[in-house]
Chain A
Amino acid sequence: MSNNYTQRLPTTRREFLRMTGTGLGLLAFSAYAPRFLTDAAAANVPAPQKDKRILVLVQLAGGNDGLNTVVPYANDLYYNLRPRLGIKDVTTLHKLNDSVALAPPCGALANLAKDGKFAVLQNVGYPNPNRSHFRSSEIWETASDADAFLGDGWIGRYLDNCCEGAPADAHNHDPAAVHSTLTLPQTFFAKDSQNYFGISGNFRSNARQYQRKDGKAFKPLLDEFAEIAPPGDTGNFLSHTLMDALVTEKRVQKILDAYQPSATYPNAALGQSLKRVASLIASGLETRVYFCSQTGYDTHANQFNNHQRLLGDLSDSLAAFQKDLEAHGLDKQVLTMTFSEFGRRPYENDAQGTDHGTAAPLFVMSGALKQGGVIGEAPDLNIPAKGDLTYKIDFRQVYATVLDKWMETDPAAVLGQKFTELPFLG
């Protein structure tokens, strides 16, 4: 990474300002000048807010089986519903209280729970549950009622809202939100044009485009072209979005390459995503929301081993992330939260799997939790044959708590209605 080009191109606001001399090129007169440039110029390079809180969302895609994650080991009905899938050897479980325990591979999370840094919210769902992956994900990501259709995501609405009439120093210089998924998650869909950045495969391979095999200095023509804004509003927007992306991309690449984690992350995709997120947080990026995804939870058949492997990855990745943040003194500044489009049926099916269900537990993790452990009762398994679980916590109560207590914004403005908040944050 020591070719002339990296030297030449600014990767931070300060570098950019130094290199452009006056600090304000022509670009700053445009509505779409790179944010780090206009904002920095306007605010005279404010120091990043050191105390700002960060939210990390971890999607468990496919619908996580709650009953084999937070196991109601004290309830015989659980074993009746799951003659083959039920986890019978209680000694392998990690007890959270007298009624539920974390699955065998989740020891690391159980330890965090003991320290009050990890909480399980029981029976999270919503009224009139939908069992389609597509639709139920949409409901979770847009935070809509089951019969309503919203185009934008809850984080997108949060960003649209919090930037409206915000004071000058509340501007986001770095990406407002970062996702490790290939495409922009619906959670981020916004009405305004938000500054997002993706750290998935495409970004990595594009970054490699700037390295020639012979190692010779390489002056990327695209950086020159990016600055030529085609006439008109749309052309201007394209030019500056691309410039933003190119600068952020090189900066992020530098951060990722230089990062020395203080924990060992699993090699599976989620661990590697969280390692990248940790490096960006540790670098002082002003980004406040990160989105990662772990896939494979749609366990219709031969569930047991697959599901336990996923939980192991999840537990080890989350614990490594938390340890890494602690080593950087950032664990009280970051809240990590899982979600999944639905839980699974309480009874196992005839292919040693489980089908799409309704409510399920949700995890939150942070050094700043007010209450760790288990919040809410174990699921009620006294249900009619082929029945399903009933939600006790509306997932929007969780969002409302996070928006109010963590992001310090009015939840009703984002969610469109009031929800009773939960005690895991103070």
Chain B
Amino acid sequence: MSLDPAKFTPMQAWSPLKAEDWNRDAARHLLHRIGFSATPDRVEQTFKQGLQKTLEDAYGYVRPFTPPESLAVYTQKRNELIDAQAMGAVTPAAGPQGKRVAQAAAAGAVIPPQRQLQMELNQLQQQTFHEFVQSWLAFAAKPENSPQENLTMFLANVLVIGQAKVKDPERIHNHINLLRTSLRQGYPSIIKSVTYSPAMIQYLDLNTSVAGVPNENYAREVMELFTLGEGHYTEGDIKEAARALTGIVVNNEQGFFARRRWDPSVKTIFGKSGNFGADDVVDLIFMQPEARTHLPKRFLAFFLSPDALPAPYLTELGSQWARSNFRVDQLARTVFSSQLFYRPEFRAALVKTPIQYYLGLCQDLSLDVSPFENQVYQNLRAMGQEPFNPPNVRGWLGGKNWINSSTLAARRQLVQQLFNPFNERNLTADLQMKLQAARQAGHGAINMDNTRLQSLADKSDEEIAKQLLNYYLAGEATDAYQRDILDYMQNDQGPRVGLVRDVAVALFQSPAYHLC
């Protein structure tokens, strides 16, 4: 890191970029980081409208996400089951059943009614979740929504919940939507809301935390992962905070404070004593100095650089953030407007997340998110990122952790898929129906057939190389790429459109394209 706080002061670092430094390259860098791609038309538009207008468009207001209709169908069915259980008609089944019960039923086994209901619900649960992910991806793929969704994904990777444990797709949607609609709020108030988010209550076991037997899971993560970081609290603080956080349960899909489950006695947290409750814990946390720098640190790791900045920069950013009442959108605006953000060493230096990689490809190639939700989900899983299902409460570690031989193989496979037109007649009836439905709903192409490559193939070799390299790579393309492409175009044989396809496939699989 060449940054020296003595030469480039923290005040200077976070002050707005000078007008003369705003150019097309800067706009490209910004677009790659706030969203998933920087197509030439949007670079041009962004450059012309300027930095502030771009950030206002990105974070100025909520762009509502409408979940798929299947989510409402799921919710209704779930509520029917809950009602039936409440009326004593059926007892809750012991565990998930899914496919195997279906197979058993198909094989003629008699399945008791409560298992039947639970089975239907479980099957619907997984499928509805995949459809929810698919429709979220389609929403996030619209360039105007991308910055909001990318910032939401950042926050969801701090305030983590996981589908493997939460399972209920409506709860997952509600949690993510809470984050999405809270981006313009202060972080303390977001934490207070998240404490009552049913997905979180379930994920970190708040619902099992009762006076007398507090569960420390949430109290620990709220300090270690959400707000302060390891080493900035004591085990005693956690134990006491866990008592203050008792009494929260899920009632009718809402977080609910059950006073009788709450421990009303005096707790001592960070040296202060009182009969604290959940909100008090959050207020006490935000009096700690580390609360000013923890989220900014996570933010910079996600949006700026895998290497930590020298401490004075972080301290200054933290102070500015605190002065904005800890608003998440303000943190984003400060960083993305700053002189520091646009320094050359921060350009094209981050590994794209699998979701960024996938949606970036869709945007770069003007493709729609595939309507085959299970396949999309498998692609992302193979690349190491099942949406809304990180491996544990730490979230995805990001950076180099995204990259190993298996995930690279999966990224390459995805590009192959996007560039290999499939024979529609070979699809199952189910997939044909999905494709038809997507077309009727006005969806565009989902892969690159020859027609889409033809206009590029009609150009000269030099133009092809220039266009591919300048349009799609976040960093500056070196001459080596140009040489390799020209060699390939000139030495290999076959239809020209096929050569262009080969070149494009290799470029999107190349190391440079994984960076943003």
Q: Which residue of B lies closest to A227 (CB)?
A: B480
State which of A195, A209, A220, A238 has its C-beta within 8 Å of the C-beta of B511. A238
A245, B349: Cβ atoms closer than 8 Å: no
Please, which residues of chain A bring their CB within 8 A of the CB of B412? 202, 206, 209, 222
| Shortest Cβ gap from B243 to chain A (Å) | 18
A183, B492: Cβ atoms closer than 8 Å: no
Q: A220-B506, A352-B104 are in contact. Are A198 and B413 (CB under 8 A)?
A: no
Q: Which residue of B lies closest to A151 (CB)?
A: B394
A245, B109: Cβ atoms closer than 8 Å: no
Chain B CB within 10 Å, residue with most, of A138, A198, A229:
A198
Within 8 A of A (CB), among B470-491: 475, 478, 480-481, 484-485, 487-488, 491
| Shortest Cβ gap from A9 to chain B (Å) | 15
State which of A149, A186, A302 has its C-beta within 8 Å of the C-beta of B100. A302
B16 at the interface (CB under 8 A from A): no
B96, A221: Cβ atoms closer than 8 Å: no
Chain B 378-389 interface 0/1 with A at a Cβ cutoff of 8 Å (1 = within)? 100110100000
Please, which residues of chain B bring their CB within 8 A of the CB of A296? 100
B62 at the interface (CB under 8 A from A): no
A8 at the interface (CB under 8 A from B): no
B112, A234: Cβ atoms closer than 8 Å: no
B5 at the interface (CB under 8 A from A): no
B406, A184: Cβ atoms closer than 8 Å: yes
Chain A 211-250 interface 0/1 with B at a Cβ cutoff of 8 Å (1 = within)? 0001010111110111011111011011101101100110
A117 at the interface (CB under 8 A from B): no
B351, A234: Cβ atoms closer than 8 Å: yes
Please, which residues of chain B bring their CB within 8 A of the CB of A224? 484, 487-488, 506
B165, A135: Cβ atoms closer than 8 Å: yes
Within 8 A of A (CB), among B183-198: none
Q: Which residue of B lies closest to A199 (CB)?
A: B406
B111, A235: Cβ atoms closer than 8 Å: no
| Shortest Cβ gap from A157 to chain B (Å) | 15
Chain B 103-117 interface 0/1 with A at a Cβ cutoff of 8 Å (1 = within)? 111010101100100
Within 8 A of A (CB), among B367-411: 378, 381-382, 384, 391-394, 397, 399-400, 403-410
Q: A134-B165, A221-B488 are in contact. Are A234 and B384 (CB under 8 A)?
A: no
B399, A350: Cβ atoms closer than 8 Å: no
CA distance A134 to B95 in the complex (A): 13
How many pairs of A and B residues are in contact by the CB < 8 Å rule?
Answer: 197
CA distance A345 to B95 in the complex (A): 11
State which of B100, B351, B399 has its C-beta within 8 Å of the C-beta of A301. B100
Please, which residues of chain A bring their CB within 8 A of the CB of B111? 301, 351
A302, B107: Cβ atoms closer than 8 Å: yes
Please, which residues of chain A bring their CB within 8 A of the CB of B366? none
State which of B94, B96, B392, B484 has its C-beta within 8 Å of the C-beta of A225. B484
CA distance A101 to B240 in the complex (A): 52
A221, B484: Cβ atoms closer than 8 Å: yes
Size bracket, chain A contacts: 35 or more
B351, A131: Cβ atoms closer than 8 Å: no
A260 at the interface (CB under 8 A from B): no
Q: Which residue of B lies closest to A231 (CB)?
A: B475
Please, which residues of chain B bring their CB within 8 A of the CB of A214? 494
Q: Which residue of A lies closest to B515 (CB)?
A: A230
A228, B510: Cβ atoms closer than 8 Å: yes
A221, B392: Cβ atoms closer than 8 Å: no
State which of A193, A197, A231, A351 has its C-beta within 8 Å of the C-beta of B406. A197
A216, B493: Cβ atoms closer than 8 Å: yes
A221, B382: Cβ atoms closer than 8 Å: no
B44 at the interface (CB under 8 A from A): no
| Shortest Cβ gap from B311 to chain A (Å) | 21
A203 at the interface (CB under 8 A from B): yes
B515, A183: Cβ atoms closer than 8 Å: no
Within 8 A of A (CB), among B228-247: none
CA distance A302 to B509 in the complex (A): 45
Within 8 A of A (CB), among B306-351: 306, 345, 348-351
B97, A351: Cβ atoms closer than 8 Å: yes
Q: Which residue of B lies closest to A345 (CB)?
A: B94
B510, A237: Cβ atoms closer than 8 Å: no
User: Mind listing 17 A-B residue pairs with CB under 8 Å?
Assistant: A184-B407, A193-B404, A198-B405, A203-B406, A206-B412, A225-B510, A234-B350, A235-B348, A238-B515, A241-B404, A249-B405, A300-B97, A300-B115, A301-B119, A302-B100, A302-B103, A302-B109
Residues of chain A whose beta carbon lies under 8 Å from any beta carbon of chain B: 131-135, 138, 149, 151, 175, 179, 182-184, 186, 189, 193, 195-198, 200, 202-203, 205-206, 209, 214, 216, 218-222, 224-226, 228-232, 234-235, 237-239, 241-242, 244-245, 248-249, 296, 298-302, 306, 345, 349-353, 355-356
Residues of chain B whose beta carbon lies under 8 Å from any beta carbon of chain A: 94-98, 100-101, 103-105, 107, 109, 111-112, 115, 119, 162, 164-165, 306, 345, 348-351, 378, 381-382, 384, 391-394, 397, 399-400, 403-410, 412-413, 416, 475, 478, 480-481, 484-485, 487-488, 491-494, 502-503, 505-507, 509-512, 514-515
Q: A182-B406, A221-B484, A301-B101 are in contact. List 18 more A-B contacts (CB 8 A).
A: A183-B406, A195-B405, A200-B406, A205-B416, A206-B413, A209-B412, A214-B494, A216-B494, A222-B506, A224-B506, A228-B484, A232-B348, A234-B349, A239-B511, A241-B403, A241-B404, A242-B408, A351-B115
In the complex, the 10 A-B pairs of residues with the closest C-beta atoms, listed nearest first? A302-B104, A198-B406, A225-B510, A221-B506, A245-B405, A238-B511, A134-B164, A301-B101, A301-B104, A355-B94
